[in-house]
Structure 1
């Protein structure tokens, strides 16, 4: 008796996943877990070198195959693998390999893991820079945090990265959106068809054990990969504006800052006499989060949703953040801590939560409720699988209806193909 072979998936990663270093790495592992639960045959490939803290995919039964940019060796590899689904991790991988996948595996479902909209994050970064250049006031950012979707669109629309990223989204059959706010932006402003987008937030298993109590915790905490520009900016705002205000009210308070890839400019901020401790990478981020009384995420720009904030909810740690940190994370649910707009408000709410057990316990309970209503792996994992299998079944219709994507593939992939072939030929004959 012949048994049908398992669905074959190829993931093309911008980097090898590092779930303990970034939310993007964590989300990729959650997606892979959803595939593994189906018994799917998974291969993970990347042109990147190994990072400092990579996941051991081989131990999970996932093949790891390095690939090269601008090399026809990928054509042979993907033809022999013959995947049913190809998932591009970030739009740059779709640009590099999408035309090769289409040429050699035309029947494969092409899926883009957007992580977050880089064009949105970049536009917000530029807006913050303009605000800081116009005023040396490091306190009040209310106007920065309040743009309408149309204003966001107008900031992004003329940029090269937006044109590249939105084109990649159109060219794919399914796009995984970690933020429902970004889905709304794409649908309303960029006119992306709704059926091309699938909401797939961070996905977690609910904690089994009760979190540590108020009395068992001490100190403030900030955590985030230093290679991610919003995290570095948050540390600077903590250092220059927020932390001095907290120390005025709590002279012995300590802030512990953790992050992968800590640069010298960050370690230079370490100052124990000010209670400002730069701790480098956390071997176990959930352990340090569980020991802290307050998680601080003073993000002045960014996109997507925030892994450190979800980790705080998992650990029962209240979070003080900004509208940028809270965006797309709680819908109409109460925020498990405080959402603030100025440095002074941030400091005041952080101190109040730190000192008030009743407020703190209410916030802890709200975080648990939010986890259960919005982030369960048991809900979103099967929904993702169902979306992909349904799209595979209706692939011809999806592509026929997405004429814009077909047109973009026709033009962009031809130019990308010829450029890649030229680079490959040049690499073979450098003289």
Structure 2
């Protein structure tokens, strides 16, 4: 009999809209390779961009927040493991899993550390550097509590692993570094990619609802692009992304070559047609999917130290630019100098092969998962903080949920 995995999603996966959606499909693929039957459940309404999970053999279920019908559903499913796609879904449904399926392995995929992203965003708005005190916010306490309540938490960035281990002293047994799970790029594939001379224009891409992406778009419009166009008057910047609102579309200006292209049906196609990716991310967390799309398609990029976090340890490289002047100058250099362009393209391939091998990280995940299943009781006994947070006096979310259900009945 196949093992069962229940994924509880805050949203339905949208791999063409966000890196989080691609990440979820990678994790589902891993569990299917380990002979798990996967069920994906969410209380969120499906958007037009939602991936049809049934095409890859995943069962789909709509669930209700704050409703005991979930208890009946999960008892009948009786999963061997449960994956929460963000700490908020663990808050909402984790206590129900603990009560109804106490032997299921509980796994949290943070996507990125929400508390780190929010602290950086607030510091950016306040024109300040992030301090240790900024990290001790309410979101931090909620997210780390969720980590302790789970048996294993998947962390996407080496920077975030270090933060949890060194600053918050979370035991290694509760964490596993799992970045994007990417297959190798063959030499034949590399040779088929359009070369420097065959490409034109700059590109930016990202879900416009995501605040770091929208902020980067404004920065491009108001500062970066003006400086580039002075020296490259015939170049265009093609800005792709899902959920382009009116305020986004109003930035479109054909005279200036600043074009809002909207949703990209095929990211590989638009990335391969472009010469350079511009990603001036000024706050955020996790890995930036756009950089991986660029590297996989042989497209050099210019970004910031926040943008390359978890990808490059050497932020002194010239395409990591934290001031507008340096960003503009290097963007122009990559666009006009084939030698610099080819050098960075090669570096991108090396980064993918040396740091993000799918086979290696899936092997590590498999070993940890099997160990958890075989030693779950002992593992939980060592996590006293997690036991404490499961105690009824610490579980406000459970009783708030029950109160809402009673109020709505």
TM-score by length of 1: 0.91
Q: Do the aligned residues in 2 keep the contact of 1:110 with 1:173 (CA within 8 Å)?
A: yes
Q: Do the aligned residues in 1 keep the contact of 2:389 with 2:395 (CA within 8 Å)?
A: no
Partner Cα distance (1:111, 1:124) in 2: 26
Partner Cα distance (2:104, 2:218) in 1: 45
Provide closer, same or farther for how the CA distance between residues 108 and 239 of structure 1 changes in structure 2, counting only shifts above 3 A.
same
Partner Cα distance (1:123, 1:415) in 2: 24
Q: 2:209 aligns with which of 212, 220, 227?
A: 227
Provide closer, same or farther for how the CA distance between residues 345 and 334 of structure 1 changes in structure 2, counting only shifts above 3 A.
closer
Q: 1:389 aligns with which of 367, 370, 379?
A: 370
Q: 2:382 aligns with which of 401, 410, 418?
A: 401
The structural deviation recorded for 1:205 is 1.7
The structural deviation recorded for 1:412 is 6.2
Q: After the TM superposition, which residues 307-326 of structure 1 pair with which residues of structure 2 at under 5 Å, given as runs?
A: 307-326=289-308
With 101-110 and 391-400 compared, the bigger mean Cα shift is at: 391-400
RMSD (Å) for aligned C-alpha atoms: 1.5
Task: Tell me which residue corresponds to 1:417.
Answer: 398
Task: Tell me which residue corresponds to 2:133.
Answer: 154
Task: Tell me which residue corresponds to 2:250.
Answer: 268
Provide closer, same or farther for how the CA distance between residues 234 and 251 of structure 1 changes in structure 2, counting only shifts above 3 A.
same
Q: After the TM superposition, which residues 19-418 of structure 1 pair with which residues of structure 2 at under 5 Å, given as runs?
A: 19-131=15-127, 144=129, 151=131, 153-157=132-136, 159-208=137-186, 209-210=189-190, 211-331=193-313, 338-411=319-392, 414-418=395-399
The structural deviation recorded for 1:206 is 2.2
Q: Do the aligned residues in 2 keep the contact of 1:34 with 1:381 (CA within 8 Å)?
A: yes
Q: Do the aligned residues in 1 keep the contact of 2:388 with 2:394 (CA within 8 Å)?
A: no
Query: Which deviations, in whole Å up to 9, do the C-alpha atoms of 1:218-239 show, x marking residues without a partner?
Result: 0000000011100000001001
- Residue 8 (1) aligns with residue 4 (2): yes
Q: Do the aligned residues in 2 keep the contact of 1:9 with 1:43 (CA within 8 Å)?
A: yes
Count of aligned residue pairs for this structure pair? 405
Give SS of 1:323's match. Answer: coil
Give SS of 1:253's match. Answer: coil
Partner Cα distance (2:47, 2:394) in 1: 30
Partner Cα distance (1:333, 1:326) in 2: 8
Give SS of 1:10's match. Answer: strand
Q: Do the aligned residues in 2 keep the contact of 1:289 with 1:317 (CA within 8 Å)?
A: yes
Task: Tell me which residue corresponds to 1:134.
Answer: none
TM-score by length of 2: 0.96
Structure 2 unmatched ranges of 5 or more: none
